[in-house]
């Protein structure tokens, strides 16, 4: 019996020693990493989805009815202002113009004869006035036929690039039919939408007379070589999105940008003496950001923070922390409010430069 009691006692002591050992081992493993906010100058790049437009992009339409007799250019060709692009068969308009010229010449001869007779008091002044009105009408008809004849030639109204043809040689076109489009790509207008809060910040800068420079990230994720300048802001906000449209102008000396392209506007915003913390040191409750702050008794307290901006893996803090605060860096899901913990304090600059090493 004594042997049995001694055996149970030994087992109990062994179990107690084992539990105590596991507890110590657990405590040794629950040393968390902590860090502190760091203050430094930094830059934030904000991106906005953008649409690229030519400064001039127009439709070229037929102004007269007839068969398309000649096409002098090709799709995608660069043309100069005044260059002949299309010719609509002009024979009917040439005939009308010739008839109008003959009528104008006849009216002019008739007017001159009537004038000589009026000067000799052979005819009444009313007859001279009628002859003059007939001459004016004939000249007006001639001007009209000249215009119709000129409209059979479609010329470039400005330097630009020809777009796709909507008609082919020999097509019968009506007045108003679309022939092609013409784009002036010497400069490009890039439109993008900005939220109201950011608009107010940018507008205050524009009001001081400072230019707001932006860059364009193209669809191939490469930055366009030339920066642009914000020149225009639309008058009204979109009530559905809360955004307002900006327009930036970009030089396009190599004609790389084309009408209808997409991309992202990149705006650089400097922050002086910004307070930075790792994003992974934060957690969210009801769309509010929090961190765990370690107090002098090594107990953790949740604290709400306000963000001023965001970088890859980093938050810029505007309110809620001071530089001396110690914040929990990892194991946020393993602790509870007011819990006392063991921690190791990491240098904040080292943490920010090696964020990928601190995976939970």
pLDDT for 255-294, tens place per residue? 999 999 999 999 887 788 889 999 989 999 888 999 999 9
What separation in angstroms does the CA of 43 have from each of 229, 315, 320, 333? 19, 12, 21, 31
Lowest-confidence region among 199-208, 277-286, 327-336: 199-208
Count Cβ atoms below 10 Å from residue 76 Cβ, excluding itself: 10
Angle of helix 91-119 relative to helix 125-150, nearest 10 degrees, comes to 160
The answer to whether residue 134 scores a pLDDT higher than 80 is: yes
Coil/strand/helix, residue 284:
strand
Which residues, 6 or more positions from 64, have their beta carbon under 8 angstroms from its beta carbon?
88, 93, 148, 151, 152, 175
- According to the model, what pLDDT value does residue 70 have? 95
pLDDT for 98-116, tens place per residue? 998 999 898 889 888 888 8
- According to the model, what pLDDT value does residue 22 have? 47
* CA 265 centroid distance within chain: 5
- According to the model, what pLDDT value does residue 244 have? 92
The answer to whether residue 7 scores a pLDDT higher than 80 is: no
- Contact indicator for 102, 61 with CB cutoff of 8 Å: no
Placement of tokens 């364009």 in the chain: 216
- The C-alpha atoms of residue 71 and residue 289 are separated, in whole angstroms, by 65
- The C-alpha atoms of residue 77 and residue 71 are separated, in whole angstroms, by 12
pLDDT for 28-85, tens place per residue? 547 899 999 998 888 888 889 999 999 999 999 999 999 999 999 999 999 999 999 9
Residue 215, classified by CB atoms within 10 Å of its CB into exposed (0-12), middle (13-18) or buried (19+), is buried
- According to the model, what pLDDT value does residue 105 have? 93
Q: DSSP labels for 337-357?
A: TT-B-EEEEPPHHHHHHTGGG
- According to the model, what pLDDT value does residue 243 have? 92
Q: Are strands 172-173 and 66-71 parallel, antiparallel or unpaired?
A: antiparallel
DSSP 63: S
H helices, E strands: number in the chain: 5, 19
- According to the model, what pLDDT value does residue 164 have? 95
Count Cβ atoms below 10 Å from residue 38 Cβ, excluding itself: 17
- Contact indicator for 325, 36 with CB cutoff of 8 Å: yes
Q: Closest Cα partner for 36 from 253, 247, 277, 266?
A: 277
The number of residues making up the chain comes to 360
- The C-alpha atoms of residue 178 and residue 360 are separated, in whole angstroms, by 62
Q: Are strands 178-195 and 38-61 parallel, antiparallel or unpaired?
A: antiparallel
Kindly report the CATH number that applies to the domain delimited by 29-41+273-357: 2.40.420.20
Kindly report the CATH number that applies to the domain delimited by 90-151: 1.10.287.470
- Region for residue 140 given its phi and psi (left: phi exceeds 0; alpha: psi -120 to 50; beta: otherwise): alpha
- According to the model, what pLDDT value does residue 62 have? 94
- According to the model, what pLDDT value does residue 14 have? 46
- According to the model, what pLDDT value does residue 263 have? 95
pTM listed for this prediction: 0.69
- The C-alpha atoms of residue 144 and residue 148 are separated, in whole angstroms, by 6
User: Domain-by-domain residue ranges, the chain?
Assistant: 29-41+273-357, 46-54+186-271, 90-151
CA dihedral 348, 349, 350, 355 (to 10 degrees): 80
pLDDT band, residue 119 (cuts 50/70/90):
confident
Coil/strand/helix, residue 83:
coil
- The C-alpha atoms of residue 327 and residue 189 are separated, in whole angstroms, by 46
When the pLDDT of each residue in the chain is averaged and rounded to a whole number, the result is 86
Q: Closest Cα partner for 164 from 233, 75, 237?
A: 75
- Is the CATH code 3.40.50.1860 the one for domain 46-54+186-271? no
């Amino acid at each position: 019996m004594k042997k049995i009691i001694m055996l149970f006692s030994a087992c109990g002591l062994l179990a107690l020693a084992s539990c105590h050992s596991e507890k110590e081992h657990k405590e040794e493993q629950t040393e968390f990493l902590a860090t502190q906010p760091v203050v430094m100058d930094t830059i934030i790049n904000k991106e906005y989805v953008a649409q690229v437009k030519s400064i001039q992009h127009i439709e070229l339409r037929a102004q007269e009815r007839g068969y398309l007799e000649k096409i002098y250019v090709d799709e995608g060709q660069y043309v100069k202002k005044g260059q002949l692009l299309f010719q609509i068969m002009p024979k009917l308009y040439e005939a009308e113009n010739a008839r109008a010229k003959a009528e104008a010449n006849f009216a002019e001869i008739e007017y001159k004869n009537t004038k000589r007779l009026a000067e000799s008091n052979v005819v009444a002044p009313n007859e001279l006035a009628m002859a003059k009105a007939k001459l004016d009408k004939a000249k007006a008809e001639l001007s009209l036929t000249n215009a119709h004849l000129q409209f059979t030639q479609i010329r470039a109204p400005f330097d630009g690039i020809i777009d796709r043809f909507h008609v082919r040689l020999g097509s019968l076109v009506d007045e108003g039919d679309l022939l092609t489009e013409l784009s002036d790509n010497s400069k490009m207008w890039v439109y993008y939408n900005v939220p109201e809060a950011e608009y107010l910040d940018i507008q205050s800068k524009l009001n001081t007379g400072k230019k707001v420079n932006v860059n364009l990230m193209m669809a191939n994720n490469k930055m366009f070589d030339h920066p642009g300048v914000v020149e225009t802001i639309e008058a009204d906000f979109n009530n559905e999105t809360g955004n307002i449209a900006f327009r930036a102008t970009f030089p396009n000396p190599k004609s790389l940008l084309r009408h209808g392209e997409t991309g992202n506007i990149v705006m650089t915003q400097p922050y002086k003496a910004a307070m930075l913390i790792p994003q992974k040191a934060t957690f969210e409750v009801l769309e509010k950001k929090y961190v765990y702050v370690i107090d002098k008794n090594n107990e953790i307290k949740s604290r709400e923070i306000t963000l001023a901006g965001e970088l890859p893996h980093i938050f810029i803090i505007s309110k809620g922390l001071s530089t001396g605060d110690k914040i929990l860096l990892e194991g946020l899901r393993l602790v509870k409010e007011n819990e006392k913990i063991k921690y190791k304090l990491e240098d904040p600059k080292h943490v920010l430069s090696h964020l990928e090493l601190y995976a939970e």
